[in-house]
Chains A and B, each alone.
Chain A
Amino acid sequence: MKLRLQITKDQDIRFISHLEYARTIERAIRRAGLPVAYSEGFNPHMKFSLASALGVGVVSKAEFVEIELAEPTSPLDAANALNDALPRGIQVLAVDAVENSAAKLMSVAGGAEYEIFLPYDKDMSTAVEKFNAATELTYEKAAPKARNKVKLIDVKKFIPAIGLTAANGVVRLHFHCKITPSGSMKAVDLLNTLNQYYALELPINKADVRRLDLYRSDEDGHIWPMLDSIYKSTK
């Protein structure tokens, strides 16, 4: 049996990396005493995985972890035990259980919903309108480890439209970003794209990025939750 849980990455710990987040969950699983399955061999590793990597600094209400168990257990009890074993800053929101042969959660995620808050006192509505009307926008992203190499990101393929609200010198961008079998794009690169195309000079370093949801989707654009039959945790 595999447990699937929806967990958070709250504000206080938003700056821990994906690897640190994963290791924290691994230790929490151990502390919770869940009957987790291990691989064989000299360096046995715990069989668990996260549905998608979250950028450093991004807050999330929708991280999903899948844990393979060596023996079945009550999902709700397991969720409560795990919740108690997690640090402040990670909470279990929901739990589901599937058979071991079920497809990995990582492979079923189809999209994510984000909001970004940003201190910015100029009007950017025209830029957002242009973005929404554009059919194709390509962002040239410098490849992090290779010099003189760029990765071309077809932004509109991932993010078709942005919603914009502004108040008190802070803008809020709201959008959905597709996750495809060949990858996705980082929420923060949307800001880079907007700066590149519309010369907005958005202060990207100050962006407060939050993932609101992660979900499954099909080619027709239907979306549905990551977990099938959700037992809400009592906490």
Chain B
Amino acid sequence: MKKELGIDILNSIQKPARYTGGEFSSVIKENATVRMALAFPDIYEVGMSYLGFKILYHLVNKMDDVAAERVYAPWVDLEEKMRAEDIVLSTLETKQALCECDLVGFTLQYELSYTNILNMLDLGKVTVLAADRKEDEPFVVVGGPCVYNPEPLAEVFDFAIVGEGEEVLIEVLECYKNWKVAGKPGGRKGFLEKVVTIKGIYVPAFYDVSYNADGTVAEVTPNNALAPKTVEKRVVKDMNSIDFPTAPIVPFNEIVHDRIMLEVFRGCSRGCRFCHAGMVYRPVRERKPEVLKELARELVKNTGYNEISLVSLSTADYSCLGPVIEDMIAEFKKDRVSVSLPSLRIDSFDVELAKKVQEVRKSGLTFAPEAGSQKMRDVINKGVTEEDLMNAVGAAFESGWKKVKLYFMIGLPEETDEDILAIADLARKVQWKYKEVVGQGGGQVTVSASGFVPKPYTPFQWSGQTELEELRRKQFLLKDALKMKNVSFQYHDARTSIIEGVFARGDRRLGKVLYEAWSKGARFDGWIEHFSYDNWLEALASCGLSQEFYAQRERGENEVFPWEHLEPAISRKFLWNEYQKALAQTLTHDCRHGTCTGCGVCQQLGVEVVDWSEQKS
């Protein structure tokens, strides 16, 4: 089995440093009983920016006898050479071919990266379909945000980890180690029957799916007595009790998020109705300010990075943000280390805070009003007003900023052309605000609009996705309306949103479509230069399925969804009520500071919202 990438290959591909490893703080374990590949189904620069794998890499490598190693999707230039010379995809650390690993764990970040999973398994000489995998082949594991509907991949992975991985992955690896050391009793099925008894583990082969005549799911039932009827997600109760990596790998080449990423809290209870993460990562659990400051200190010392990004789903909502930022800036200023925030909410925008984070380095400001009209912002429960935006940008312009970027979605439920044009109006008003505050024109506005994709376990899971031609028309409507000086417009190819929509709410039958599309060359579908819509439509048609059924169809109140045996613990009744409130343009408040809004997560999982400014414990 040829693993080595020779000098001639490395000389003839883009960015060879992606494939050679050796980075500072990467962990080489020559001897380990169990080796797990953490496989990211995209290129190195994207995968290395993913915080989840930084956390798991660190935790697993702390275990005795267990090694976590990294592998990323080779870019098409390298894949071509690997296939021509029969070189097997291997990990960066000790060059284990994927087929030599005990487990290969993929993160499901994005539906359009699914073909890369199939492709990486194939390049790693691992049998692509789980049912055909031989006794000595690795177990293929999946986790990550899309695990709340992994059904299109159900024929590919052996088991899934549902929820936060910190605790459960260790349990899984201990379980695997014991099974391996004991001589693998019962073979592959023997292990799956052991691992399925761990809370949060889903083994798709242990469930049967039946369908109604209209193609919707009739029932999902366990076919193995050990498999639970529904798999509830795992959560970490206390963010201060779990280990956060303070010596993450520092890459040689520039990655997408090339800075310290410090997670300040997990979960978000704002309740934006389009937001998958906001629904499935509940409840809000903050880290203590003292813990964050200590982590930052260690991270600066161990990485040599000059920027700390405070990350979470909505960092401006961190209850102790002001003091934490002030303390960090004061402490690290002498080392020229700056503190940054990923994006800002316009209602909690604090210009003094924004000024502080700019003290060391200047950067642009990004706001996410998400929709142009008040009506639409109420539909999605964004809970912000035009006045909030004007105050925020006004304060920013007054303090010397000249550029703002505004994020929007188009193709939302209940949206009319007026709502689209309201985005252009907002952009214009932001420019007027600049003129009013600064006394002359020239404020620069970037409008970014992405096509809305309804996701499972959100109130819009019942909603039909806007069809392709209509989405395109809306893009052009906005594009034409935004032909203004100093305004630029960014948008994506609407066709990718449709395929994303198909897989987001897809069922097991899409496994064949995925396989078919991959066999015909689909990979890197998230990269527009490699995305072939026609290939996907052909694959759907050849399996007797259609994008209309999965993406555009409005679901009935009582339809059984293909993903309901996987539980983020948010109640279906709550989601339906939220959907009805969306249609009625009624808001739901944030439970973080007010009363419980009844999503059911805390009660079902036995966890609590943790907000340090209110608890002071």
Contact = CB atoms under 8 A, between A and B. Distances in A.
Contact of A20 (B10, B17, B26): B17
Contacts of A221: none
A150 to B, nearest CB: 22
A167 B401 CA distance: 66
Interface string A42-56: 111010000000001
B20 interface: yes
B306 A30 contact: yes
A183 to B, nearest CB: 23
Interface in B244-268: 250, 252-254
Interface string A10-39: 001111110011011011111101000010
Given A87-B22, A205-B8, A15 B361 contact: no
Contact of A24 (B10, B24, B336, B361): B24
Given A16-B252, A27-B24, A88-B22, A57 B10 contact: yes
B16 interface: yes
Interface in A153-190: none
A207 interface: yes
Please classify how large the interface on chain B is, using the bins under 10, 10 to 19, 20 to 34, 35 or more. Answer: 20 to 34
Given A17-B17, A85-B304, A205 B22 contact: no
B23 A87 contact: yes
B303 interface: yes
Given A31-B304, A57-B11, A15 B16 contact: yes
A16 B24 CA distance: 13
A34 to B, nearest CB: 11
Nearest to A85: B304
Contacts of B254: 20, 23
Contacts of A230: none
A72 interface: no
A12 B335 contact: no
A28 B304 contact: yes
Given A31-B301, A88-B22, A206 B253 contact: no
A29 B254 CA distance: 18
Task: Name the prevailing secondary structure of the B interface residues.
Answer: loop
B20 A42 contact: no
Given A27-B250, A29-B304, A15 B17 contact: yes
B95 to A, nearest CB: 11
Nearest to B11: A205
A30 B304 contact: yes
Nearest to B24: A87
B198 to A, nearest CB: 36
Contacts of B253: 16-17, 20
B252 A31 contact: no
A122 to B, nearest CB: 18
Given A13-B20, A15-B20, A27-B305, A206 B335 contact: no
Contacts of B8: 203, 205-206
Interface string B457-478: 0000000000000000000000
B401 to A, nearest CB: 14
B606 interface: no
Interface residues of A, number: 34
A81 interface: no
B7 A207 contact: yes
Contact of B336 (A16, A21, A38): A38
Contacts of B24: 24, 27-28, 31, 85-87
A188 B576 CA distance: 66
Contacts of B20: 12-16
Contacts of A140: none
Contacts of A225: none
Contacts of B26: 87
Find the residue from A15, A56, A85, A207 having the highest chain B CB count within 10 A: A15
Contacts of A12: 20-22
A130 to B, nearest CB: 27
A38 B250 CA distance: 22
B250 A205 contact: no
B7 A208 contact: yes
Contacts of B594: none
A172 to B, nearest CB: 15
Nearest to B359: A42
A178 to B, nearest CB: 25
Contact of B17 (A16, A29, A43, A44): A16
Residue in A13, A28, A87, A89 whose Cβ sees the most chain B Cβ within 10 Å = A87
A30 B11 CA distance: 31
Nearest to B337: A30
Residue of B20, B253, B303, B304 contacting most chain A CB atoms (<10 Å): B304
B362 interface: yes
B16 A24 contact: no
Contacts of B6: 206
Contact of B304 (A27, A44, A56): A27
A30 B300 CA distance: 9
B547 interface: no
Contacts of A33: 301
A23 B251 CA distance: 10
Contacts of A13: 17, 20, 22, 252
Interface in B362-418: 362
Contacts of B252: 13, 16, 20-21, 23-24, 87
B22 A31 contact: no
B224 interface: no
A61 B19 CA distance: 22
Among B19, B250, B254, B362, chain A packs the most CB atoms within 10 A around the CB of B250
Interface in B14-49: 16-17, 19-24, 26
A86 B25 CA distance: 10
B361 A42 contact: yes
Contacts of A31: 24, 301-304
27 contacts: A12-B22, A13-B17, A13-B20, A13-B22, A15-B16, A15-B19, A15-B20, A16-B17, A24-B250, A24-B252, A28-B304, A29-B304, A30-B304, A30-B306, A31-B301, A31-B302, A31-B303, A33-B301, A42-B361, A44-B360, A46-B336, A56-B16, A57-B7, A57-B11, A85-B24, A205-B8, A205-B11
Given A13-B17, A57-B7, A85-B24, 10 more contacts: A16-B253, A23-B252, A27-B305, A44-B360, A46-B336, A87-B24, A206-B6, A206-B7, A207-B7, A208-B7
| The 7 nearest A-B residue pairs measured at CB | A27-B304, A30-B304, A15-B16, A87-B24, A205-B8, A31-B304, A20-B252
Interface of A: 12-17, 20-21, 23-24, 26-31, 33, 38, 42-44, 46, 56-57, 85-89, 203, 205-208
